[in-house]
Amino acid sequence: MLHRSCDLGPIKAITARIEATATGCEARFRLEGNVGAIRMPEAAPPLRTDGLWKTTCFEIFWQPIGDTPYREFNLSPSGRWAAYDFAAFREGMRDAPVDAISISTASSSEGGSQNLELIANIAAELDDPAQVALSAVLEHAGGALQYWALAFPPGQPDFHSEACRQLIVERDQASSGR
């Protein structure tokens, strides 16, 4: 859903899904609308990079159920990424250990709409079951930002809030080797 403080703008819908894998997780985000009217970061080497959330970026928040610490992943269409561990709500931030992150994008057109799909494969130790948030920051060509998430807490958009973590993700026993 689009945060109520944001104008609709060029993107009409975002769909997202995530699934746990034996080595971490795979997430897919799909933008529908006029993708050409949002700022896309230039393609870049797939390196850990801070500040990705300042422009078009996709995010995952992963928190083991019943625990306080959580992990944040920032995924840029440029191929750059970031991963942070937090001890508590916006406290104790440090770089999270990650084995590998690969990001790919694909564009398509259908019914007058320009679409973009971002696929991220993350190899990292992720506890499960977990409560998970999927969110996006989109920067319009004019510089305005849109905030999309599964849910928002009251007030300003805050992706770190547990109110955004509306999915429960768990590895099935076959893929986890249990």
CA distance 75 to 27: 10
Q: Does the pLDDT value for residue 16 go beyond 70?
A: yes
pTM score: 0.92
Please tell me the predicted confidence (pLDDT) of residue 57. Answer: 97
Which tens digit of pLDDT belongs to each residue from 81-116?
A: 999 999 999 999 999 999 999 999 999 887 778 899
Q: Does the pLDDT value for residue 175 go beyond 60?
A: no
- Residues sharing a CB contact under 8 Å with residue 168, sequence separation 6 or more, in sequence order: 65, 129, 130, 131, 132
Which tens digit of pLDDT belongs to each residue from 25-54?
A: 999 999 999 999 999 999 999 999 999 999
Per-residue confidence at 177, pLDDT binned at 50, 70, 90?
very low
pLDDT more than 90, % of the chain: 86
Please tell me the predicted confidence (pLDDT) of residue 112. Answer: 77
Average pLDDT, the chain: 93
**DSSP string over the chain:** -B-TTS---SEEEEEEEEEEETTEEEEEEEEEEBGGGB--PPP----B-S-GGGSSEEEEEEEETT-S-EEEEEE-TTS-EEEEEESBTTBS-EEPP-SEEEEEEEEEEETTEEEEEEEEEEES---SSEEEEEEEEEEBTTS-EEEEES---SSS--TTSGGG--EEE---HHHHT-
Please tell me the predicted confidence (pLDDT) of residue 7. Answer: 85
Residue whose entry in the numeric block shows the structure tokens 């931030």: 93
* Domains of the chain, each with CATH number or no CATH: 11-41+52-146+158-176 (2.60.40.1190)
Structure tokens at 115: 């679409």
